[in-house]
Structure 1
Amino acid sequence: MSETLSPSLPRTTAMAPERPEDEAAVEALITAAFGAGRFAKTAERLREGSKPSGAFAVHDEGQVVGSVRLWPVRVGETPALFLGPIAVDAGHRSAGLGAELVAACVNHARMTATGGILLVGDRAYFERFGFVPAPDAVLPGPVDRRRVLWLPVQTQAVAGLVRIDA
C-alpha cells in the first residue's frame, strides 16, 4: 500500500480479511460505533439481505478493533462496490486504522473488475483516497446527496439507481 493512502498500523494491530469467527465481534463493534439507529439509514437498508463481497478486520491482541465491508451493487448498469460501514473501536480511533481500512478497500477494488467504490460519507475525509461527489447516483431512500461519493476504478462517473447486485 502507498504511504499516502496507508499510514502504518500500530505494532500491536494486524489487518486481515474478515473471518467467519469475527462476525459477532464485528457486529458488536458496528453497533457500538453507530447504535441501533443505523438500521433506519438508507445505506443499511441497501445492504440488508446481501452478503459482503469483501471485508477486512483489524485485530489487537485477539480483539476486533476495526472493520469495514464492501457490498456488490450496481449504479445504473455499472458494477460497483458499496463501502460501509467502517467502524473503529473508540480506544483506537486516533491510530490511523480507519485510513488503513479504506486503503485496503481501495486496493481490493483495484484488483477486481468493478467500476468503482460508492459510499455515503464525509467528503473531507475520503477525498484523500480519490473519492469525488457522485451527484447522479441515486440511493433508494433518503440520504444527504452531498455525502454520496465515488472512487473511480474502471468507470469515471456513475449515474442511476443504486441497487444490490446479488
Structure 2
Amino acid sequence: MIRLAEETADDWWEVEALLDLCFAPGREALSSYRLRDGVAPVAALCLVARDADGSLAGAIRNWPVRIDSPGGRRWALLLGPVAVHPTHQGEGLGAALILRVLDLAREGGWSRVMLVGDLPYYQRFGFCRLHGVEMPPPTNPDRILGVELRDGSWEDVTGPVIRALA
C-alpha cells in the first residue's frame, strides 16, 4: 500500500536523493531550475509517496511561475519534478502523484499548470503543447506543455515564463 502525504522539511534530503537517482547528473542546470531559484515551492502541492515500510517510493514538487503575457502577467503552476523510485516504476505511482496534484491545484484555485516534458506521456492527463509560451533557453519548445484547470485559462496566454518573484 502506498500513502501520499504533503512533503515536510524532514523529507527534503530523501526527496533530493530520489531526484538524483532518477534524473541525470546536472539536473539542476536545467532551465526550469532557474525559475525555482529563490522561490518557495507550493507546499500543499509537494507530495511524497511512501510504501508500507515507510520507504520513499515517489515525490512530486510544484512551483509558482508567471507568464509575461501581452495582456499582463499570468500565474501558472510549474509541475515537476516528479520522480518514482526504480523499484516502484511501472506501478502507476507517477500518474497517481500527478492526478492528485492536479486535483489539489484545482481545489486550491490554480487555473493553469505547465511543465517541460514528453507529450506522449503527459497528454493522458490533459496536457497539450503550449504555443507561444517560452521557457528560458535551452528548452525545446515542443516540450512546453500545459493543462487548463479552468476552461479557457490558457487562451491568449503567451510570452516568456519568469520567476514568481520577478
For the criterion TM > 0.5, the same-fold answer is yes
Q: Name the amino acid aligned to 2:10.
A: E
Provide the residue aligned with 1:165 in structure 2: 164
Could you list the runs of 5+ residues in structure 2 that have no partner in the other structure?
Answer: none
Moved over 4 A (4+): none
* 3-state SS in 1 of match to 2:47: strand
Q: Name the amino acid aligned to 1:65.
A: A
Q: Tell me if 1:17 matches 2:3.
A: no
Number of aligned pairs? 155
Distance, in Å, in 2 between the alignment partners of 1:35 and 1:27 is: 13
Q: Which moved more, 1:45-54 or 1:91-100?
A: 45-54
Provide the residue aligned with 2:102 in structure 1: 106
Query: 1:165 offset after TM fit, Å?
Result: 1.4
- Give 1:63's match in structure 2, choosing from 32, 50, 55: 55
* 3-state SS in 1 of match to 2:78: strand
Deviation track 1:29-84 (CA, whole Å, cap 9, x = no partner) reads: 00111132212211122212211102010011111110011101112211110011
**Contact preservation (8 Å) 1:30, 1:87:** yes
- Give 2:86's match in structure 1, choosing from 84, 90, 98: 90
- Give 2:64's match in structure 1, choosing from 59, 72, 79: 72
Q: Name the amino acid aligned to 1:48.
A: D
Could you list the runs of 5+ residues in structure 1 that have no partner in the other structure?
Answer: 1-10
TM-score, normalised with respect to structure 1:
0.88
Distance, in Å, in 2 between the alignment partners of 1:114 and 1:94 is: 29
* 3-state SS in 2 of match to 1:146: helix
Distance, in Å, in 2 between the alignment partners of 1:56 and 1:40 is: 23
Q: Percent identity?
A: 35
